[in-house]
Structure 1
């Protein structure tokens, strides 16, 4: 039995915090895991604003923000590890996505892994999408490999983060981005004076806006077969014909999102795990349960896994990179082959 300790770091497109997860992985006829410590650290308003505007920066300013954000993450990890003395094999960092243009073989995440390595003095892996898009893939989603290895009892997974994605683990592992999720729901909630729609209560007070629903259904992306993935900027298309009443926007978009998720899960039988911040949206989850086949069992795991599954898996992807094992699946992304992805930095 071989034991490893790794840290996963994840900040989603909704920028509602930096998830840091310290994990213990055991290799013995397969992989098992334990989450030792996990925490969501708030990102300062200054950095949040800079990250939201990162795609509009000059090349120099973007490079400087990359280093600044990486150094901040490194210091966060050092604070997170105070009082612990475990041998860290690797830190796996997702980073903040600035550009995601797989058709042009570009997917750029900032939060400089080399800066994190210097600050923490621990091996650090980042840039997990780059190799895959250069091999003709979407570079996303990345988590299905970890789901398959660490959570083999489920037939499908739905992550309701800034962007909702689905992965199906049947004969062949496939995954894709379904639609913007918390990016849109939080936008409408903020128009109503809330950071997010707690439990979906704001959405439940709205009414269906049929022209908006028809517009959403008409968007080409929702009719494309996988593999496919979305950039953060794509949410602007979803919002361009939004209703004047934000509550109606929430109600309509929640119904539309549940509809899309149910369609994408229509060929699945068995257990489906829901994770991400949207898993706490009772209104959305109830809509999804009403729309899916009775052959599906929609399950919410313990809150720690709801909140930190993606960070857990980035720790695992980083570990696979240090072991020089494939960690991104071509069946998911459409790349020419499975890849050992991520750029690994070692302390001097």
Structure 2
């Protein structure tokens, strides 16, 4: 059936640990073209204990503790959805949950998105799709990123779609295929260092703005092997903890200088990708979303380096684009259309990832 309409809730929890994003959208496919409307959206902060477990605690749990937490976090997600539905008076056809990434090592075919979809479905009594990445990884892919299918079908007016969250990732069309990959860590590193002085993040980049660039550190960061790899590639906390943090600590810099250098690194890596993949429309239009779009100093550095027209959308799209696209993945699942693109992830074929729990 070509004319297809569905209302879906998307749940997104990113590596920056700034909380749970809930976005309820109505999607329609007509004459082969998808459109969307954001019906309502809200963010929910995490209690400190939960933030610790999602950040580092879960990685060191026993098997029994881990699976218990998996169920408990799923119930937490379901309860937040119930609050959301009651507040906004909605009851969607489907819930699509990203979960929270605890392990991501696709080269070993290892990944885990915590947050049991069965627990969400049990709490809400609404069909729930979760675990979107596993099939792609078993098909030889990275299982990430998943957002580019939404970039292609919902945000086609932009030449590049850049999301800046815990990690930066980008997607664009190349020779008729959607290309996408992680660029570098961003807020995952910035927030880590800000927490050391009792802050959750570097508001407007004010701390970094006061610092000076350490050229040897910048050169070492930019020279890391990951940045010279081609093809689908993705990043996880394991790489940051073993490769990036030791490098940042080696130079004995002040917090301001450390962050200033890292900002320049993050902005340069974005420039490097766009410069190497020019748009057929000239410099093109770059859409920036994610928490990093609010970081004035970081955006200034990207603007100073990149030759394209930068577009910062309204707050709702900035904050909830990833949750919106996870809702869209739920819509695609129900429409029996692939949500994982092999050209993006490196899998052997496009696939419909996810497990449906239905009560």
1:268 aligns with 2:268: no
- Identify the range of structure 1 (146-155 vs 326-335) with the bigger mean alpha-carbon deviation: 146-155
| CA deviation vs aligned residue, 1:308-347 (integer Å, no higher than 9, x gap) | 0000000010111122211110000011000011111111
1:22 aligns with 2:20: no
Q: Distance in 1 between matches of 2:143 and 2:330?
A: 15
TM-superposed deviation, 1:83: 5.1
Check 1:27–1:201 CA distance in 2 against 1; reply closer, same or farther (3 A cut).
same
1:147 aligns with 2:151: yes
Q: TM-score, normalised by structure 1?
A: 0.96
- Size of the alignment, in residue pairs? 345
Of 196, 218, 221 in structure 1, the residue corresponding to residue 223 of structure 2 is: 218
CA contact under 8 A between 2:85 and 2:91: conserved in structure 1? no
TM-superposed deviation, 1:152: 1.2
Q: Distance in 2 between matches of 1:129 and 1:300?
A: 28
| CA deviation vs aligned residue, 1:236-262 (integer Å, no higher than 9, x gap) | 221112243111111000001100000
- Identify the range of structure 1 (233-242 vs 120-129) with the bigger mean alpha-carbon deviation: 233-242
Tell me what 1:202 maps to.
Answer: 207
Q: Distance in 2 between matches of 1:163 and 1:26?
A: 30
TM-superposed deviation, 1:184: 0.8
SS at match of 1:240: helix
CA contact under 8 A between 1:157 and 1:272: conserved in structure 2? yes
**CA RMSD for the aligned pairs?**
1.3
Tell me what 2:53 maps to.
Answer: 50
Q: TM-score, normalised by structure 2?
A: 0.93
SS at match of 2:247: coil
1:233 aligns with 2:238: yes
Check 1:188–1:87 CA distance in 2 against 1; reply closer, same or farther (3 A cut).
closer
Tell me what 1:36 maps to.
Answer: 39
TM-superposed deviation, 1:290: 1.2
CA contact under 8 A between 2:27 and 2:331: conserved in structure 1? no
1:250 aligns with 2:259: yes
Q: Distance in 2 between matches of 1:168 and 1:274?
A: 13
CA contact under 8 A between 1:89 and 1:319: conserved in structure 2? no
CA contact under 8 A between 1:10 and 1:311: conserved in structure 2? yes
1:181 aligns with 2:186: yes
Gaps of at least 5 residues in structure 2 are: none
Q: Distance in 2 between matches of 1:163 and 1:240?
A: 18
1:343 aligns with 2:348: no
